[in-house]
Amino acid sequence: MYLLGYNMSIASAVGFIALGGVAAEVGVVMLVYLNQAISARAAAGRLNNDEELVEAIVEGAALRVRPIAMTVAVIIAGLLPIMWGSGTGSEIMRRIASPMVGGMLTAPLLSMLVVPAAYLLLRRSLRAGAPFARNSPPSDRM
């Protein structure tokens, strides 16, 4: 938005809301793939240490690279004509499309790099019996 010289408006807020929806969907599907990869490894008896956990997470994330790339390519290809348009209503539509195009360049990086890393840290802490683990007793602090 800054690079295009657009101010925040209702139209750009709609673009950010749409971007949030797509990013959330991609993140949830990434978590589904990670859970499936870990479940498959656990069922095969190949999830005994942190090294095998990392391998399962990498395997699950790698399965998701192509679908994420295809999703990003289709969204950007669909929005670029809107950004280049000059017909009636194009001024508003550019402000809706610009957050989506910019966000679709960065959201996949979040989904492919940050989500698996955070998932690994969470799984490790749950294994180690961290305070927020499901089986831990409730704390006395209120």
Give me the mean pLDDT over the 9-13 stretch.
Answer: 93
The vertex-89 CA angle with 86 and 90, nearest 5°, equals 35
* Tokens encoding 64: 């998701």
Residue 33, pLDDT > 90, answer yes
- pLDDT tens digit string along 91-122? 889 999 999 999 998 888 888 999 999 999 99
Residue 122 to residue 24: CA distance in whole angstroms? 18
Q: Please give the residue that has the higher pLDDT: either 15 or 134.
A: 15
Please tell me the pTM assigned to this model. 0.77
* Tokens encoding 119: 């998932």
Residue 125 to residue 123: CA distance in whole angstroms? 5
DSSP 12-37: HHHHHHHHHHHHHHHHHHHHHHHHHH
pLDDT at 35: 94
